[in-house]
Amino acid sequence: MTQKADRDQIRRQNRSVVLQALRRNGPQARIDLGRITRLSPATVTSITSDLISEGLVAGVEDDCQREREKGARGRPRSLLALHGPAARVLAVKLSVNTIEMALADYAGRLVGRDVAGFDSTSVTADGFSEILIDSLRAFIARTGGVAPSFIALASQGVVDDSAGTVAWSPAFAVRHVQIVGPLARAFGVPCLLSNDTNMIAEALHRSDPQRYGGTFAVLFVDYGVGMGLFINDRLFVGETGAAAEIGHANHIPGGALCRCGRRGCLEAYLGDYALLRHARGLDLQTPPACLPVGRETIRELIAAARAGDPGTLEAFHAGGTALGYAFARVIATLDPRRIVVTGAAADAYPLMEAAALTALEEGLVSDLRGSVEIEAIAWEEDLILRGTVARALHALDTEVFSETGYGNQREMLGG
């Protein structure tokens, strides 16, 4: 029994590897799939034959080769490609006053996207469920009315994915907002809720698993501070999904007031409101809600610092120091290959780097620093949604359309 279970697990893993290769690289010949995945020709042939019979993969002709060999004898070589109509996934990003939605087919191609609004300051937990369901139904109707096979959501704040709730978030004035339960009942399909920074890590890994593979961390510095973790090529979320909430780990006991209501959180020194508060020389206990932050806040602070404003330069130095101590904690705990800094404040990393590296040296003995690479990458708003789409498709591959029980799942989903 154990040997059979191991064989089934290996086969499911190999199926996922083949599907991801086709999704990332586009149509491929079987021989090229073997080279990309490092699977044997016999394994590739067996797996792709199953995928074709299940309607997840289809044969296509190599149009480029046809043009090159026009007039030559014989047929163009046959390639394999994901069958886009096999399924649709719905990705949703929840943030302050905003519900962003994206619909993708099984090949990962975007079918449509839209935005709906709500009032973060007044919406109730039950009221938000109704708004979310109505918004998704309207969006699905506008994009052809084809029901999704999977719904994946990403939210700001602290997420409890085991309960399917947003425990706390700046997007809501209330706590413990039920998300997964109401959606699953309304749409009758599997749903998954994740923290938004986890989805940034997911997007990077799916786009370039060589660079963003193994064990790496993403630090998101923007309206708040979050972290996404991959450990041994797997997204790590902990028991409840709240792992890596480094933004609300204490940086200075009894220190600056955080948006979450506690004092001394890392976010209270690195979030947009924290940088603005410091740059203006305000008391560190000034409530974040009283600060006029918006989408342009960090960009304006960067411009002021580059113009030589002393208060803003000091704010970025303090933020860099906090960031460096965060690096030290992550490295000491995980020994990652890479740490990525992104978010709107990624453009400010050159202003924080010297202070961050100094704090890292102070916070961690050199023998533990290893060969970790630290990089800042420009923020792309679509990273979270892209990661959420990737997460949904991976769940389809490994949980819904896996080899065992696949026929029952397709019948359940109306396929």
For 26-170, where are the alpha helices, taking DSSP H only?
30-37, 41-53, 63-68, 125-142
The domains of the chain, with CATH numbers, are: 2-82 (1.10.10.10), 86-189+383-412 (3.30.420.40), 210-376 (3.30.420.40)
* Angstrom distance (rounded) from CA 139 to CA 258: 36
Give the pLDDT score at 92. Answer: 98
* Angstrom distance (rounded) from CA 88 to CA 308: 50
Residue with tokens 């149009």: 63
Give the pLDDT score at 74. Answer: 55
Give the pLDDT score at 7. Answer: 81
In this prediction, the residues of the chain whose per-residue pLDDT falls under 50 are: 67-68, 403-415
Q: What is the pLDDT of residues 31-47, one digit of tens each?
A: 999 999 999 999 999 99
Give the pLDDT score at 133. Answer: 98
* Angstrom distance (rounded) from CA 124 to CA 40: 54
Query: For residue 162, what are its two tokens?
Result: 């085991």
As a residue count, the chain comes to: 415
Q: Is the dihedral of CA 269, 273, 279, 285 positive or negative?
A: negative
Give the pLDDT score at 410. Answer: 46
Give the pLDDT score at 371. Answer: 86
The counts of H helices and E strands in the chain are 15, 15
Query: For residue 264, what are its two tokens?
Result: 């001394």
Give the pLDDT score at 48. Answer: 96
Per-residue b/e over 326-348, b at no fewer than 16 CB within 10 Å?
bbbebbeebebbbbbbbbbbbeb
Give the pLDDT score at 413. Answer: 40
Give the pLDDT score at 368. Answer: 82
Three-state secondary-structure class, residue 359: helix
Give the pLDDT score at 1. Answer: 56
